[in-house]
Amino acid sequence: MQNTLKVISVLLSYPSKELIGAAKELHAALEADKETSQTAKAWVGALIDDIAAHDIYDAQERYVLLFDRTRTNSLHLFEHVHGESRDRGQAMVDLAAMYERQGFDIDVRELPDYIPMFLEYLSTQSREEIDNLLDQTLHIMVAIRERLQKRKSIYTNAFLALENMAGTSADAKAVAQILEEPADDPNDLKALDKIWEEEAVAFGAGQGNDACGPDRLRTQIRAHNRPPPQDPRPQMNGEHKNG
């Protein structure tokens, strides 16, 4: 299973000449994985062949339009969680700390919730930990898969494989909540600029010794299930809530 996770991690990264030229090696790594089903490996194998068949510039353009200019297809886990910015920031800190405790070095140019990085981390873990963290993030993976299927994208295969490997079902309610957000149009640059101008996530230090790890990840990644806090102040006639 570790091999397949590593291969999917590579395939979901920005296409490079090295990636396009590595089809044979990727297939070999896939075939050597005896813990992953043939169904999942067939999906991943088809994605390898599709990317390898593309010109490098076409592959990169497709990737950018699909993932970088379409926020609802974002390859960042916490982008799909509708918690407050502070929650997302703390979740980033917790995830980075979990990587560090396991001796997993991350690229400082990428946020820790970047799915290719997350999958690479999983590829270094035990089967128990893989199952644990795939289960916690499966609703996000399924939501991304459904959006990609609507676009008839071959990248759907990567997320179909992850669902198959998880061996469980995603929380349908959690998936539906993510999909409530209307899909972005990658060609509507003004709308995209407005979306990306939202308040930046502030990454603060974790609080306490138990602020990190899988349990904290579960809490943060499911933050969108919590109802918004109620304002305890009485509303006075003629006064605004914030006035």
Residue 26 and residue 10: Cα distance in Å, rounded? 9
Token pair of 196, please?
A: 């990306």
Residue 180 and residue 177: Cα distance in Å, rounded? 5
Residue 27 CB partners (closer than 8 Å, separation 6+)? 45, 48
CA angle (223 as vertex; 221, 224 as ends), nearest 5: 110
Q: What is the pLDDT of residue 68?
A: 87
- 151-183 pLDDT per residue, tens: 999 999 999 999 999 988 999 999 999 998 877
Q: What is the pLDDT of residue 201?
A: 42
Per-residue pLDDT for 25 more than 80? yes
* DSSP assignments along 34-65, one per residue: SSS-HHHHHHHHHHHHHHHTS-HHHHHHHHII
- 80-133 pLDDT per residue, tens: 874 445 677 788 888 888 898 888 887 767 788 999 999 999 999 999 999 999
Question: What mean pLDDT do residues 44-61 have?
Answer: 97
Q: Give the 3-state secondary structure of residue 31.
A: helix
Token pair of 186, please?
A: 């990658």
User: Amino acid identity, residue 13?
Assistant: S
Q: What is the pLDDT of residue 6?
A: 97
Residue 47 and residue 7: Cα distance in Å, rounded? 10
**What pTM was computed for the model?**
0.77
Long-range contacts of 187-194 (CB under 8 A, 24+ apart): 192/69, 192/71
Q: What is the pLDDT of residue 100?
A: 86
Per-residue pLDDT for 212 more than 70? no
Token pair of 150, please?
A: 């609507």
% residues pLDDT > 70 (the chain): 72
Per-residue pLDDT for 42 more than 70? yes
Per-residue pLDDT for 224 more than 90? no
